[in-house]
C-alpha cells in the first residue's frame, strides 16, 4: 500500500499563489481523503443485537412493567 499525501500539489492546483497561498475570493483546493487515517478494524459485526442480550432486556422490561401494574392495582384496591 502506497502512502497518499493529503497536501495538494501546487503545480497541479489552480488558483494558488507562489508559496501555496490562496488569493482573496478564490476557493481553496478540496481536501483529499485519508485512507490510512484510522486503525485497521478487524472485528465489525454484520448484525445488530444478538438474540440472548435482546431476550434478557425484553424479559426485564416485562417484569418491571408487571411490577408497576401490580403496584397500581394494589393502590386502587
> Each residue of 45-54: pLDDT tens digit?
666 778 888 8
Q: What pLDDT is stored for residue 77 in this prediction? A: 85
pLDDT < 70: residue spans in the chain:
1-17, 20, 25, 27-38, 44-47
Q: What pLDDT is stored for residue 36 in this prediction? A: 61
Three-point CA angle 38, 35, 37, nearest 5°: 30
Q: What pLDDT is stored for residue 43 in this prediction? A: 74
Q: What pLDDT is stored for residue 52 in this prediction? A: 87
> Considering the entire predicted model, what is its pTM?
0.40
Q: 34: Cβ–Cβ under 8 A, 6 or more apart, which residues? A: 4, 6
C-alpha cell at position 67 = 411490577
Q: 36: Cβ–Cβ under 8 A, 6 or more apart, which residues? A: 1, 3, 4
Amino acid at each position: 500500500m502506497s502512502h497518499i499525501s493529503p497536501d495538494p500539489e501546487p503545480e497541479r492546483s489552480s488558483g494558488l499563489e507562489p508559496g501555496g497561498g490562496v488569493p482573496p475570493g478564490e476557493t481553496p483546493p478540496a481536501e483529499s481523503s485519508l485512507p490510512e487515517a484510522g486503525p485497521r478494524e478487524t472485528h465489525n459485526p454484520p448484525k445488530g443485537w444478538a438474540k440472548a442480550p435482546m431476550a434478557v432486556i425484553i424479559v426485564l422490561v416485562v417484569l418491571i412493567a408487571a411490577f408497576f401494574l401490580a403496584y397500581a392495582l394494589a393502590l386502587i384496591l
